[in-house]
Amino acid sequence: MRIGELARRSGVSERSLRYYEQQGLLSAERTPGGHRAYGEWAVDRVVRIQTLYAAGLNSRTIARLLPCMRDADGGPNERADGKLLEELLAERDRIDRVMADLARSREVLDEAIDTATTGLGSRPGPAGRSPHPGPATD
């Protein structure tokens, strides 16, 4: 498939796909006319790259990690070394810390929302109406 189709199927811009190739994350064959040609495997590879970027990994780490991940057919592709494993464990720890910080921030926000909701419920809103009406009564 050509780069435009890979971009459409993976939801990633052509510019990003060229960058991935430049960084050694993705490879393409060249047609006699010089166009990039990708195999079906490239869609899964691009989705995997996007997931790793979203996890906070940089392109250098992703380039080292991709060959160590299972192939699209589920078979192992093991080329990890001890240093990469240490980096990945450190990255997972960093993500865990960020997630814990976000959970604490959400708790503080929830408390503020509860306080604001309670405060608004005790005084009338516009035109004398309560901003949060209670259950309907007949």
Angle at 85 between CA 60 and CA 77, to 5 degrees: 80
Angle between helix 3-10 and 14-22 (nearest 10): 110
Residue 64 has pLDDT above 90, yes or no: no
Please report which confidence band the pLDDT of residue 96 belongs to, taking 50, 70 and 90 as the band edges. Answer: very high
pLDDT number for residue 65: 84
Residue 36 DSSP SS3: strand
| Cα–Cα distance list, 48 to 3, 41, 80, 137 (Å) | 17, 11, 17, 54
| pTM tops 0.85 | no
Mean pLDDT in residue range 72-101? 78
Are 68 and 79 in contact by the 8 Å Cβ rule? The answer is: yes
Distances (CA, A) of 131 to 57, 78, 109: 45, 60, 20
Closest CA to 80 of 62, 64, 60, 61: 64
Distance (Å, whole) CA 72 – CA 76 = 10
